[in-house]
Amino acid sequence: MRFIFKTRYEQDIELFQHGGQVFWYGLLMAVLLVAPLFVSAYVLTQLSQACIYAIVALGLMLLAGFTGQLSLGHAAFMAVGAYTQGVLVTAGVPFFVGIAAAALFAAVVGIIVGLPALRVKGLYLGIATLAFGTIIEEIIARAEHVTGGNAGLMVPPVSLFGWRFADGPSFYYLCLAFALAATLIVINLLRSPTGRAFVAIRDSEISAQSMGVNLAFYKTLSFAISAAFAGVAGALYAHNIRFLSPDQFTVVQSIELVMMVVIGGLGSVHGAIYGAAFLIALPQVINAAKPMLPTFLAEATGLQPTVFGAVLILVVLFEPLGIYGAWLKTRAYFDLFPFYRKGMFRRQKAFQKSDRLK
């Protein structure tokens, strides 16, 4: 077990609290950097996809996990980013200008979609965002002369300064860089007044307001940042898949994104990353398991959504803090061995339950 002796206030706001963190995150970074040398092209594409989903998850975590605003329209923000990038890059606009436009445009849409959040909460907000998401999906399908409608839109590979980022490793590094930047932005916000204002809104709007937090401004800001992240991820997604059609960004997609942050662990940055990794890894695991299953199960349609749903139910019932919560408990078990008790986390859980009844 590690005890940190703090002697300066700076220690509370530093990125790494102790040497152990530097070592483990450094190791993770090193593994991610050398990964292209050891894995197949297919796995590398999946890793790029995981980075892309991590960006969406970070944005959604900021909104749902830290500001407490439910959004069932995040696939639509991804769509806005993806199509903006697709259309602009096809028209010859440089990659970074396109991605900036994708982020900006998604943020503007996010602000509009976030307007109901100023009046409604919880499930009602979810339904309002769901409706907006459907509207955006429909607009994309109808605006055929720009988006290609249901026939789809081909997206050229990334080219930067005349250098093509088409093949696996270079595109993977690009996605990794964006995911890393997104993580840093979220962590930075969370350790400064803006992030604390978000948390304040999540936990008690009435006292946040009494402490001088402008609810309208910060809720809108949270929606804008979250949508911009989804927009950037959408733009990278467009380059990764190279083909866009409205049915890639349906309501089901949005729900999957919410499931990702819930399973990862609401209210933690780690949770966003775990959730993204889970979302990408699960279909692979299911595919790998298929040969071992009886035929009627292996060939059943909807196997993946069923497993997803089952995992979600189990997580909500037994581990409300998701994968990250499970990890914290495992770590506490080994830290405190042999003194870990089953009820150690219970007190907090009891409070959360009473919160839910409110």
Binding site for other proteins (CB under 8 A): 9-10, 12-13, 184-185, 188-189, 191-197, 199-200, 202-204, 206-215, 221, 267, 347-348, 351-352, 355
Q: How far is the CB of 213 from other proteins (least distance, A)?
A: 6
CA–CA separation, 262 and 52 (whole Å): 18
Closer residue to other proteins (CB): 11 or 287? 11
Closer residue to other proteins (CB): 133 or 325? 325
Closer residue to other proteins (CB): 219 or 239? 219
Q: How far is the CB of 209 from other proteins (least distance, A)?
A: 5
Q: How far is the CB of 200 from other proteins (least distance, A)?
A: 5
Closer residue to other proteins (CB): 70 or 82? 70
Q: How far is the CB of 70 from other proteins (least distance, A)?
A: 16
Closer residue to other proteins (CB): 142 or 346? 346
For 290-300, letters b (16+ CB in 10 Å) and e give eeeeeeeeeee
Q: How far is the CB of 212 from other proteins (least distance, A)?
A: 3
CB atoms within 10 A of CB 140: 24
Q: What token pair was written down for 44?
A: 């590398």
Residue closest to 261 by CA, chosen among 269, 252, 249, 253:
269
- For residue 338, is the peptide bond before it cis, meaning its omega torsion is within 30 degrees of 0? yes
| Helices 95-114 + 215-241 axis angle, to 10 | 140
Alpha-carbon torsion (81, 87, 90, 94), positive or negative: negative
